[in-house]
Amino acid sequence: MSAGITMSSMSSYAILGCGSVGHAVADDLTDAGEDVVILDRDDNRVEALRDQDLNARQQDITEADVAEVVADREVVLILSGNVDANKAAVEAIRAAGGEQYIVVRANDPVSKDQLVELGADVVINPSEVIADSALRSLEAGELAYKTQQMVEIFRETDGRLAILSHDNPDPDSIAAAVALQAIAADHDLEADILYDGEMGHQENSAFVNTLGIDLSTRESVGGLSEYGAVALVNHADAGAEGDVEDDVDVYVDHDEPAEPVGAEFVDVRLNVSATSTILTKYLQELDLSPTETVATALLYGIRAETVDFKRETTPADLTAAAYLHPFANHDTLEEVESPSMSPETLDVLAEAIQNREVQGSHLLSNAGFITDREALSQAAQQLLNLEGISTTAVFGIADDHILLAARSNDIRLNIGSALDDAFGDVGEAAGHAKQGSAEIPLGLFTGIEISDDNRDTLLQLSEQAVRRKLFDAMGVEEGSNGS
């Protein structure tokens, strides 16, 4: 069937006004075996349509009796180039009590609104349709060009490819790296996935372990100097400005980097919500069917970045997810999304809930003395689900250090940068826009050595210092508690 018209069941149609648009629609519907009648006031045009074996009748669509002529039709397409005639036809059909599904042509935004008010179900503005088609064609052409440009770099690379995610990699960053590794392998280029910082959230560790994804720290491989090319994926959230590497060959992201990237290949797409979506488009463009592991990783990356399509989801994210769905292992996805919670994590979460302090939409909590720093990450993520909370920070004391984990879904805040501003001068901080961590030597805050006699004092002093420095870095004024 031409022109992409697909009907799920047989319907009866009336086409009112048969210029070039109406004629094209009539041909498609008739070729599909649909029951179509064409109404047009021009006798010569009607005769010509009949000569083409089309069911055409002479009828002025501006007259009230047009409603009676189309009364037995389920769908009415009013496609005349005269918008006043189209308005009259819609008005006549609705005034007669007609409940047909009406699709009508407009010629500008004003007439579009007027036709909706008159009772049209769908209003089409040809100029908008042409513009949308042109943009889709442009996007498709750009994707083809970009994909081949990237592949050419892979073909010319002598040595291995280093794929670097951002610090403390999240699912979208890991999934994009896994997909890029698969594309490189398809072009006979071996690649290693590297990261800085820590794996962080238990769900991320479950994701990597369950899918058998091989990641290495950049430190463990001795840096990037031995690689033939370097690719950065989902790296714009890497933290403070200037974090982007100097010597980069490929850069792919769905966010704008803090500073210009001097890579040979740069593909930043702000019209999608996940870098995994961009990599899915590459796979489709290359006609490279994803393996179960790659598809599961990418689908999880999109779902995690859009919070299961509830946050900032674009049509491109949805179509990418739909494409990946049949390739993915959904039992594995369920396993990754519901990792088991250790007894200590449960204890830390309970303590964090009990000790939470809320300033506006920001939550800070003291989890006390801990032995598992991963429990802090779990608690920070769980507390982010509280109503009205956009940023969480949970800290605890382990040995002679204050450990802190933070999460944020506030687009105005880069929590990684905030932690660096707050604690970078007294300890170590790492992260990106949505998550981060910090480790601060306890003595720098309190000047007190840990003993059984001063545990409560240490916690109190630590909480005061962490609260003051973190809230100052985030620009939060203390005093107006939430709950």
Residue-level pLDDT at 232: 92
**Total structural domains within the chain:** 3
Residue-level pLDDT at 447: 55
Q: Residues 221, 313: one domain?
A: yes
Residue-level pLDDT at 97: 92
Nearest Cα residue to 298 out of 467, 142, 179, 201: 179
Q: Is residue 129 part of a domain?
A: no
Q: What is the pLDDT of residues 142-198, one digit of tens each?
A: 888 999 999 999 999 998 999 998 777 888 999 999 999 999 999 999 999 998 877
Residue-level pLDDT at 297: 94
Q: Residues 172, 315: one domain?
A: yes
Q: Residues 188, 77: one domain?
A: no
Q: Residues 400, 453: one domain?
A: yes
Q: Residues 87, 213: one domain?
A: no
Identify the domain containing residue 77 by its residue range: 7-124
Q: Is residue 134 part of a domain?
A: no
Q: What is the pLDDT of residues 385-425, one digit of tens each?
A: 888 899 999 988 887 788 888 888 887 888 888 888 888 88
Residue-level pLDDT at 450: 55
Q: Is residue 2 part of a domain?
A: no
Pull the structure tokens for residue 389: 């909370």
Residue-level pLDDT at 455: 64
Pull the structure tokens for residue 141: 């052409």
Q: Is residue 247 part of a domain?
A: yes
Q: Residues 310, 367: one domain?
A: no
Residue-level pLDDT at 333: 86
Alpha carbon distances (Å) from 290 to 221, 296, 310, 373, 472: 28, 9, 25, 35, 46
Residue-level pLDDT at 194: 92
Q: State the DSSP string of 270-298.
A: TTSS-HHHHHHHHHHHTT-PPPHHHHHHH
Residue-level pLDDT at 341: 66
Digitized pLDDT (tens) for each residue of the chain, 483 residues in all: 334 444 444 579 999 998 888 888 998 898 888 999 999 999 998 999 999 999 999 999 999 999 999 999 999 999 988 999 999 999 999 999 988 999 999 988 888 889 999 999 999 888 788 777 777 777 778 888 999 999 999 999 998 999 998 777 888 999 999 999 999 999 999 999 998 877 656 677 778 888 888 888 888 888 788 899 999 998 865 443 334 456 889 999 988 876 777 888 999 988 899 999 999 999 999 999 999 999 999 999 999 888 788 777 888 999 999 999 999 999 888 877 766 667 777 888 888 898 898 888 999 888 888 887 778 888 888 888 888 899 999 988 887 788 888 888 887 888 888 888 888 888 888 777 777 888 888 765 555 555 556 667 777 777 788 888 888 888 877 655 544
Length of the chain: 483
Q: Residues 21, 35: one domain?
A: yes
Q: Which of 319, 337, 355 is the last residue of a domain?
A: 337
| Residue 392 backbone phi and psi in degrees, to 5 | -130, 150
Handedness of CA 263, 143, 178, 288 (dihedral sign): negative
Residue-level pLDDT at 57: 92
Q: What is the CATH number of the domain that holds 111?
A: 3.40.50.720
Q: What is the CATH number of the domain that holds 393?
A: 3.10.310.30
DSSP count for the chain of H helices, then E strands: 17, 18
